[in-house]
Structure 1
Amino acid sequence: MIIEEIKERALNLLSEKEEDFKVIDFSFALPYSYVLIESNGKKALGVAMTLLEEYRGHGNRKDLNINKNLEEFINMADSFDIVERTLGVAAINAVSQYYFNFEANGKDAAELVLNRDDIKKIAFVGNMIPVVNMLKKSEKFDIYVFERSPSLLMDGVLSDAFEYRLLPEMDAVFISGTTLLNDTLDFVLDRAKNAKLKILVGPTAQSLPELFKGFGITHIASTKIIDVDKALLYLKFASSSMLFKGASKKYTMEVE
């Protein structure tokens, strides 16, 4: 599975760099969970969307250990427990943000297809409303939006059950980073193998591009957190939109 390989690559990166990381804060929260790490006075914040439809509660059956080290957090990324898996992906994103040495170019994912004449059918795996609306305005494309969460199943949005039938017909596919959390990324990439562009999108996709090489993903469109303290404060107040206002900057970059 892709998430297992990404986990191993992240652990190998830690081993190669030999940084003395400390996990100084974390939370399974709304709308994003997060892990905050620090090394040599430099902090980095990784986030992952919290999928409430996957949450089953914990109660006293959960053995919470706030003294976990970073490797233990990362090792949870392929857990079958949604809390552990979410925090594991957030930890991988935190490491990625720490080592992120690219320029956050501010480029929106939609720009990858707007000027392409060979793109007609576009799928969104996850209802990414701002990007969907931007592309609909161009009136150039046939757009299919798939969603699993009941709260985002609005008019014109298809159940993710129809991905199996329709994804092979697509020229471009925008894939929510939450597919890392619900373990559907392998399936989506397999069904979308005919697409010219396969773009992993959203804050949950904050990982370094090198961690995604060889899986068929062509681009990552996510956010670089540029003000950790401000972003952390917004997250503690359950803010999603404010995460992108003054605390982070969008980027879109090629994977392979």
Structure 2
Amino acid sequence: MWELYDSLIEPIPADVKVSDYLTGNYCTLVTAGGCMGAAATNPLNTVKGTEKDVGEMSWKEAAGLIKSWNFAEASIGAAAVNAFYNQADCLEHLNINGKITMLSGEDTFLAHKKDFRGKKVATIGHFCYAEECLKEAAACVILERNPGENDYPDTACEFLLHDMDYVFITGFTLVNKTLPRLLQLARNIKVVLVGPSIPLAPQLFEFGVSELAGSLIRDRIQLEELVKNREHKAVIRAGTPVRIAGK
């Protein structure tokens, strides 16, 4: 069950220390090796975490926290992972080697708007801004851990995902460990991972992902200030959207 996580952690340096980290209400930041990564902070109270100071950890050790069942720690791990993968230099290197296709930087729902016509679409997580783009879909199913009106509980994924044409999955699923099962259920379906917690890691294509729609940090100083000021969309405001697909 940990293969996906181990594939993300394995290339990260074990001889580089974490230089800084910040856990905000909505966003967690980790800096290591001159790189900053961000991930959404998971607010759920879960089991007690490690007592070791993240600031004393290596980059790889901090990234390994993404496997923690303490979700605050796992958010730190996701940010450490993203500090490695979500860098312009890293993406340029991958592109040169022909491992990925760089897509437009526009919102992924807008980019696929015409493709949705007559299709069945599911979103894991509530993307309010996507509703306009999904109007022409034959069906739109929203699965939520804390469902609102007209949402399905996330447990309905076991019964509904197999019948979809598109599935859009929030990065929270990496932290709460539901992503591996969701990818199993969505085999042979176009799967897009969406949000600031998504690592732009090409190995995710080997697990059934079709597209990664994440962010590169454009302004670190602005991002830190936004996180400290409890800005809900800090990475969106201080970042640049990037979409990549496997060949």
TM range (shorter): 0.7 to 0.9
1:78 maps onto 2:70 in alignment: no
1:100 maps onto 2:90 in alignment: yes
Distance in 1 between the 2:166 and 2:47 partners?
36
The 1:172/1:119 distance shift into structure 2, 3 A limit, reads farther
Aligned to 1:68: 57
Aligned to 1:135: 133
Question: What is the deviation of 1:190?
Answer: 1.2
The 1:119/1:250 distance shift into structure 2, 3 A limit, reads farther
Distance in 2 between the 1:50 and 1:73 partners?
15
The 1:9/1:251 distance shift into structure 2, 3 A limit, reads closer
Distance in 2 between the 1:11 and 1:228 partners?
26
Q: Which of these residues, 167, 172, 193, is aligned with residue 173 of structure 1?
A: 167
2:13 is aligned with what amino acid?
Answer: L
Q: Which of these residues, 19, 25, 28, is aligned with residue 33 of structure 1?
A: 28
Distance in 1 between the 2:50 and 2:208 partners?
36
Aligned to 1:225: 217
Distance in 2 between the 1:213 and 1:127 partners?
23
Give CA-to-partner distance per residue, 1:218-254, whole Å, 9 cap, x none.
Answer: 0001111111111121112111224322x21112110
- What root-mean-square deviation, in Å, do the aligned CA atoms of Structure 1 and Structure 2 show? 2.4
Aligned to 1:235: 227
The 1:118/1:189 distance shift into structure 2, 3 A limit, reads farther
The 1:169/1:242 distance shift into structure 2, 3 A limit, reads same
The 1:22/1:14 distance shift into structure 2, 3 A limit, reads closer
Question: What is the deviation of 1:179?
Answer: 0.8
Q: Which of these residues, 186, 197, 220, is aligned with residue 180 of structure 2?
A: 186
2:27 is aligned with what amino acid?
Answer: Y
Aligned to 2:193: 200
| Contact in 2 for aligned 1:77/1:87 (Cα 8 Å) | yes
Helix, strand or coil at the partner of 2:30: strand
Q: Which of these residues, 135, 141, 144, is aligned with residue 144 of structure 1?
A: 141
Aligned to 1:249: 240
Question: What is the deviation of 1:129?
Answer: 1.4
The count of residues paired between Structure 1 and Structure 2 equals 236
Give CA-to-partner distance per residue, 1:133-153, whole Å, 9 cap, x none.
Answer: 2323x43331000000x3xx2
Distance in 2 between the 1:184 and 1:56 partners?
15
Aligned to 2:148: 154
The 1:242/1:218 distance shift into structure 2, 3 A limit, reads same
The 1:105/1:233 distance shift into structure 2, 3 A limit, reads farther
The 1:48/1:243 distance shift into structure 2, 3 A limit, reads closer
Distance in 1 between the 2:104 and 2:218 partners?
13
Give CA-to-partner distance per residue, 1:40-93, whole Å, 9 cap, x none.
Answer: xxx32212222223x2375xx851423112121012221222222221111010
Structure 2: stretches of 5+ with no match in the other structure: 93-101
Higher alpha-carbon deviation: 160-169 or 91-100: 91-100
Question: What is the deviation of 1:12?
Answer: 2.3
Give CA-to-partner distance per residue, 1:177-208, whole Å, 9 cap, x none.
Answer: 1111111111111111142x100000010x23
Distance in 1 between the 2:233 and 2:11 partners?
33
Aligned to 1:23: 18
| Contact in 2 for aligned 1:104/1:249 (Cα 8 Å) | no
Aligned to 1:56: 46
